[in-house]
Amino acid sequence: MFALPIQYRLAGFYFFYYSIVGTFMPYWSLYLQDQGFSYQEIGILSSIAILTRFFAPLIWGWIADKSGRRMLLVRIATCMEATIWFLIFMIPGDFQSIALLMLVFSFFQNAILAQFEGVTLFWLGEKRAETYGKVRKWGSIGFIVGVFAIGALLDVVDISLLPIMLLCIAFTAFIWSFSVREPGSAPASQKQLEPLLPILKRPVILAFFSIEFIMLLAQAPFYSFYSNYLKQAGFSTTATGFLWSVGVISEILMFAGANFFLGRFSWRTLVAACLCITCLRFLLTGLFPEYFVMQLLAQCMHAFSFGLFHMIAMRMIFQHFTAGQQGRGQALYSTMWGLGVALGSVLAGHYWQIISGEMVFIIAGLSALSGLLLIYWLPATIEKNA
């Protein structure tokens, strides 16, 4: 693997990292339900796993920009991630113990992606506009392999074995991380970090990160409870895994074709489209829980809910944050993701049995439209060199 071109080595790490996410995200809530936790407890545990994205990326981003050793941090975090899944067999299965495990796991998990995104963008250099999507799509493929293969496997083995599967994939990701060196174009250690406040005061940055928070608040019930929702509607884990996979396949197609949109429409227009399509997606999810075709259609809209929005975010961060600020810029993106999903997960878990899962998804979809109030501050012209 060390002899492979750098694009393949970067793609390989994305593949294994997102295989972990594809194994964890759809099935962890089912694992917790199998262990006897209530919907409210699952919502809290899910929010703990996500809430560390509020502070962990900022800590790791500061260390990365200060030390210049981004891949070292990725390796440490991936090793710790594997260790956590080993420790789950050695701790009690009560709420407090699982909550502590989620806190530690997510603290290190949230060190990985933000820093590796920066590593990838530095390695791709001037070719990032045309090659980033081609490399990043392998993360989506890894997610599909994880979610679909594990979903099929869980139809024949007990879901209590899920931590063993996570342990094996995390250890493989750790080994693969040694194939990627520190990018030579990235800034080395900095005695004094460049301040972020002047950039954060820019209206476009404030508006974009606020819209990101709203987008993820709307998507939180999906990330935390979609598998439980489908199980309640009578879907098997194989069908559940297939629907998750469809969402990621649509994301891959968007990564491959995003330049078509980015070269023809302004960020303002594209973000508005992402918000409206996200609203429609979760309205369909909530209104037609038992209709496979409607769930399939809703999942296809993930191309805009995540795929296109993520591509815009990566360009925005690389354009507005300097090379010495990339670690913290990526960290802020992860932080807003964590805030939105954590708050949404707690609210969804609290109201799930009060107003029903269907209504939770409908309200979540409608909430995405509030982001339209902020698109005025996004660029109305096409970002040719973003």
E strand or H helix that includes residue 223:
helix 203-232
- Cα 301 to Cα 189: distance, rounded to the nearest angstrom: 41
- Cα 95 to Cα 252: distance, rounded to the nearest angstrom: 36
Rounded mean pLDDT, 182-192 = 61
Give residue-wise pLDDT tens across range 111-145: 787 788 878 877 887 777 678 878 888 988 898 88
Model confidence at 357, in pLDDT bands (50, 70, 90)?
very high
- The mean predicted confidence, pLDDT, of the chain is 86
DSSP 305: I
Distances (CA, A) of 55 to 44, 73, 76, 383: 17, 16, 18, 31
Q: Which of 180, 176, 173, 107 lies closest to 143 in space, CA to CA?
A: 173
Model confidence at 287, in pLDDT bands (50, 70, 90)?
very high
- Cα 84 to Cα 101: distance, rounded to the nearest angstrom: 7
CA angle 262, 266, 270 (to 5 degrees): 75
The answer to whether the CB of 302 falls within 8 A of the CB of 252 is no
Tokens standing for residue 328: 């913290």
b/e burial code for range 317-342 (CB count within 10 A of at least 16 → b) = bbebbeebbbbbbbbbbbbbbbbbbb
- What is the dotted CATH code of the domain comprising 6-377? 1.20.1250.20
The pLDDT value recorded for residue 155 is: 83
The residue ranking higher by pLDDT, 325 or 30, is: 30
Give residue-wise pLDDT tens across range 208-267: 999 999 999 999 999 888 988 999 999 988 888 889 889 888 988 898 888 889 888 999
CA angle 325, 213, 57 (to 5 degrees): 40
